[in-house]
Amino acid sequence: MRRLGCYYAVLFLQVAASSRAAALEKSDVVFMYQADARTYSEYGATVVAWGGTPRPETLEAAKGLRFFGSVGMVTEFSRYYERFPTNYAEGLCRDIDGQPVKVPWLTDHQHRGIPYWWCCTQQPIFRQYLREPVEETMKSGAHGLHIDDHLGTAGGLWLGICFCDRCVEGFKEHLKSLSPQRLKELQVEDPVAFNFRE
Protein backbone atom coordinates (compact mmCIF):
# COMPACT_ATOMS: atom_id res chain seq x y z
CA MET A 1 0.00 0.00 0.00
CA ARG A 2 1.21 3.42 -0.82
CA ARG A 3 2.88 5.46 1.90
CA LEU A 4 0.85 8.27 3.35
CA GLY A 5 2.11 11.78 3.65
CA CYS A 6 4.17 11.80 0.46
CA TYR A 7 3.70 13.72 -2.74
CA TYR A 8 0.23 12.73 -3.65
CA ALA A 9 -2.43 15.21 -4.53
CA VAL A 10 -6.03 14.30 -4.28
CA LEU A 11 -9.03 15.46 -6.21
CA PHE A 12 -12.55 14.31 -5.69
CA LEU A 13 -15.21 14.46 -8.33
CA GLN A 14 -18.74 13.74 -7.42
CA VAL A 15 -20.71 12.66 -10.42
CA ALA A 16 -24.17 12.33 -8.93
CA ALA A 17 -26.21 14.50 -11.26
CA SER A 18 -28.76 15.15 -8.53
CA SER A 19 -26.37 17.07 -6.33
CA ARG A 20 -24.39 20.25 -6.83
CA ALA A 21 -23.37 20.29 -3.19
CA ALA A 22 -19.76 19.87 -2.17
CA ALA A 23 -18.49 16.33 -2.47
CA LEU A 24 -17.46 16.44 1.17
CA GLU A 25 -19.19 18.17 4.09
CA LYS A 26 -17.47 19.30 7.27
CA SER A 27 -19.53 16.79 9.20
CA ASP A 28 -18.45 13.84 7.08
CA VAL A 29 -16.49 11.03 8.67
CA VAL A 30 -14.15 9.93 5.91
CA PHE A 31 -12.42 6.58 5.67
CA MET A 32 -9.30 6.62 3.57
CA TYR A 33 -9.60 2.98 2.50
CA GLN A 34 -12.17 0.22 2.47
CA ALA A 35 -13.15 -1.41 5.77
CA ASP A 36 -15.83 -3.85 6.93
CA ALA A 37 -19.37 -2.81 7.77
CA ARG A 38 -18.84 -3.12 11.53
CA THR A 39 -15.81 -0.82 11.47
CA TYR A 40 -17.68 1.79 9.42
CA SER A 41 -20.52 1.60 11.93
CA GLU A 42 -18.33 1.88 15.01
CA TYR A 43 -16.70 5.03 13.69
CA GLY A 44 -19.86 6.53 12.21
CA ALA A 45 -18.28 6.63 8.76
CA THR A 46 -20.14 8.49 6.01
CA VAL A 47 -17.64 8.43 3.13
CA VAL A 48 -15.06 6.00 1.71
CA ALA A 49 -12.52 8.28 0.06
CA TRP A 50 -9.95 6.00 -1.56
CA GLY A 51 -12.07 3.04 -2.40
CA GLY A 52 -10.22 1.45 -5.29
CA THR A 53 -12.39 -0.42 -7.77
CA PRO A 54 -15.74 -1.13 -6.12
CA ARG A 55 -16.81 -4.75 -5.96
CA PRO A 56 -20.31 -5.88 -5.01
CA GLU A 57 -19.20 -7.04 -1.57
CA THR A 58 -17.31 -3.82 -0.82
CA LEU A 59 -20.31 -1.72 -1.88
CA GLU A 60 -22.55 -3.89 0.29
CA ALA A 61 -20.27 -3.35 3.28
CA ALA A 62 -20.36 0.41 2.58
CA LYS A 63 -24.12 0.56 2.19
CA GLY A 64 -25.40 3.99 3.25
CA LEU A 65 -21.98 5.59 2.77
CA ARG A 66 -20.79 7.55 -0.25
CA PHE A 67 -18.19 5.45 -1.98
CA PHE A 68 -15.42 7.05 -4.06
CA GLY A 69 -13.54 4.71 -6.37
CA SER A 70 -9.92 5.48 -7.17
CA VAL A 71 -7.73 5.83 -10.24
CA GLY A 72 -4.09 6.84 -10.00
CA MET A 73 -2.47 8.95 -12.70
CA VAL A 74 1.14 8.37 -11.64
CA THR A 75 1.38 5.30 -9.42
CA GLU A 76 -0.19 2.49 -11.43
CA PHE A 77 2.64 1.62 -13.79
CA SER A 78 2.22 -2.14 -13.36
CA ARG A 79 -1.40 -1.97 -14.44
CA TYR A 80 -0.56 0.26 -17.39
CA TYR A 81 2.22 -2.09 -18.43
CA GLU A 82 -0.09 -5.09 -18.36
CA ARG A 83 -2.57 -3.22 -20.55
CA PHE A 84 0.05 -2.30 -23.15
CA PRO A 85 3.01 -4.68 -22.64
CA THR A 86 4.45 -4.31 -26.15
CA ASN A 87 4.14 -0.55 -26.62
CA TYR A 88 3.92 0.88 -23.09
CA ALA A 89 7.09 2.90 -23.77
CA GLU A 90 5.13 5.19 -26.11
CA GLY A 91 3.38 6.68 -23.10
CA LEU A 92 6.38 7.44 -20.89
CA CYS A 93 7.50 10.91 -19.92
CA ARG A 94 10.95 11.83 -21.18
CA ASP A 95 13.62 14.07 -19.71
CA ILE A 96 15.64 16.48 -21.81
CA ASP A 97 17.94 13.61 -22.84
CA GLY A 98 15.00 11.52 -23.98
CA GLN A 99 15.23 9.15 -21.02
CA PRO A 100 12.25 7.95 -18.95
CA VAL A 101 11.93 9.15 -15.36
CA LYS A 102 11.15 7.10 -12.26
CA VAL A 103 8.32 8.09 -9.94
CA PRO A 104 10.44 9.49 -7.06
CA TRP A 105 8.48 7.89 -4.22
CA LEU A 106 8.38 4.50 -5.97
CA THR A 107 12.04 4.12 -6.88
CA ASP A 108 12.09 0.81 -5.00
CA HIS A 109 9.22 -0.54 -7.11
CA GLN A 110 9.59 -2.66 -10.24
CA HIS A 111 7.19 -4.58 -12.39
CA ARG A 112 8.63 -7.48 -14.38
CA GLY A 113 12.02 -5.94 -13.77
CA ILE A 114 10.95 -2.54 -15.12
CA PRO A 115 11.04 0.55 -12.89
CA TYR A 116 7.85 2.45 -12.16
CA TRP A 117 8.20 5.08 -14.88
CA TRP A 118 6.25 8.36 -14.81
CA CYS A 119 3.80 8.27 -17.71
CA CYS A 120 2.72 11.26 -19.79
CA THR A 121 -0.87 12.40 -19.61
CA GLN A 122 -0.45 14.03 -23.03
CA GLN A 123 0.23 10.70 -24.72
CA PRO A 124 -2.81 9.06 -26.38
CA ILE A 125 -1.90 5.55 -25.22
CA PHE A 126 -1.68 6.60 -21.58
CA ARG A 127 -4.88 8.63 -21.84
CA GLN A 128 -6.58 5.52 -23.18
CA TYR A 129 -5.20 3.54 -20.26
CA LEU A 130 -6.61 6.10 -17.79
CA ARG A 131 -10.01 6.28 -19.45
CA GLU A 132 -10.65 2.55 -19.10
CA PRO A 133 -10.33 2.21 -15.30
CA VAL A 134 -12.32 5.43 -14.83
CA GLU A 135 -15.17 3.92 -16.83
CA GLU A 136 -14.81 0.58 -15.10
CA THR A 137 -14.84 2.19 -11.66
CA MET A 138 -17.93 4.28 -12.32
CA LYS A 139 -19.82 1.46 -14.02
CA SER A 140 -19.08 -0.68 -10.98
CA GLY A 141 -21.26 1.58 -8.86
CA ALA A 142 -18.99 4.20 -7.30
CA HIS A 143 -20.74 7.46 -6.33
CA GLY A 144 -17.69 9.49 -7.23
CA LEU A 145 -14.09 9.24 -8.25
CA HIS A 146 -10.88 9.92 -6.38
CA ILE A 147 -8.17 10.86 -8.88
CA ASP A 148 -4.78 10.35 -7.34
CA ASP A 149 -1.96 12.66 -8.49
CA HIS A 150 -4.45 14.56 -10.58
CA LEU A 151 -1.86 16.84 -12.23
CA GLY A 152 -0.38 13.90 -14.12
CA THR A 153 2.61 15.06 -16.15
CA ALA A 154 2.37 18.61 -14.81
CA GLY A 155 2.90 17.23 -11.29
CA GLY A 156 6.42 16.21 -12.29
CA LEU A 157 7.74 19.50 -13.66
CA TRP A 158 10.20 19.63 -10.77
CA LEU A 159 11.73 16.38 -12.11
CA GLY A 160 12.48 17.97 -15.46
CA ILE A 161 9.61 16.49 -17.43
CA CYS A 162 8.24 16.40 -19.97
CA PHE A 163 10.18 16.50 -23.22
CA CYS A 164 8.34 13.73 -25.07
CA ASP A 165 7.43 14.39 -28.70
CA ARG A 166 3.81 14.97 -27.83
CA CYS A 167 4.64 17.64 -25.25
CA VAL A 168 7.06 19.38 -27.61
CA GLU A 169 4.37 19.49 -30.29
CA GLY A 170 1.75 20.66 -27.81
CA PHE A 171 3.92 23.55 -26.68
CA LYS A 172 3.97 24.85 -30.26
CA GLU A 173 0.19 25.10 -30.10
CA HIS A 174 0.52 27.11 -26.90
CA LEU A 175 3.04 29.46 -28.51
CA LYS A 176 0.76 30.01 -31.50
CA SER A 177 -1.88 31.34 -29.12
CA LEU A 178 0.41 34.12 -27.83
CA SER A 179 0.49 37.67 -29.16
CA PRO A 180 3.30 38.75 -31.51
CA GLN A 181 4.52 41.10 -28.80
CA ARG A 182 4.75 38.30 -26.26
CA LEU A 183 6.55 36.06 -28.74
CA LYS A 184 9.04 38.84 -29.34
CA GLU A 185 9.61 39.18 -25.60
CA LEU A 186 10.24 35.43 -25.46
CA GLN A 187 12.52 35.64 -28.50
CA VAL A 188 10.50 33.02 -30.30
CA GLU A 189 10.75 33.80 -33.99
CA ASP A 190 8.65 30.95 -35.33
CA PRO A 191 6.20 29.19 -32.97
CA VAL A 192 5.63 26.36 -35.45
CA ALA A 193 9.34 25.52 -35.58
CA PHE A 194 10.11 26.12 -31.89
CA ASN A 195 11.36 23.00 -30.12
CA PHE A 196 11.96 23.51 -26.41
CA ARG A 197 13.84 20.23 -26.16
CA GLU A 198 16.50 21.51 -28.53
| Of residues 142 and 162, the one with the C-beta less far from Zn ion | 162
Sole binder of Zn ion in the list 61, 164, 175, 194 (CB under 5 A): 164
Q: Does 120 bind Zn ion (CB under 5 A)?
A: yes
Q: Does 48 bind Zn ion (CB under 5 A)?
A: no
Residue 152: closest CA among 178, 139, 172, 170: 170
Q: Can you point out the beta strands (E) in 54-136?
A: 66-72, 110-111, 114-115
| Of residues 145 and 167, the one with the C-beta less far from Zn ion | 167
| Of residues 93 and 142, the one with the C-beta less far from Zn ion | 93
CA distance 49 to 67: 7
Q: Does 73 bind Zn ion (CB under 5 A)?
A: no
CA distance 107 to 148: 18
Q: Is residue 24 within 8 Å of 45, Cβ to Cβ?
A: no
Q: Does 167 bind Zn ion (CB under 5 A)?
A: yes
How many residues sit in the footprint of Zn ion (CB under 5 A)? 5
Q: Which amino acid is at 154?
A: A
**Site residues, Zn ion (CB under 5 A):** 120, 122, 162, 164, 167
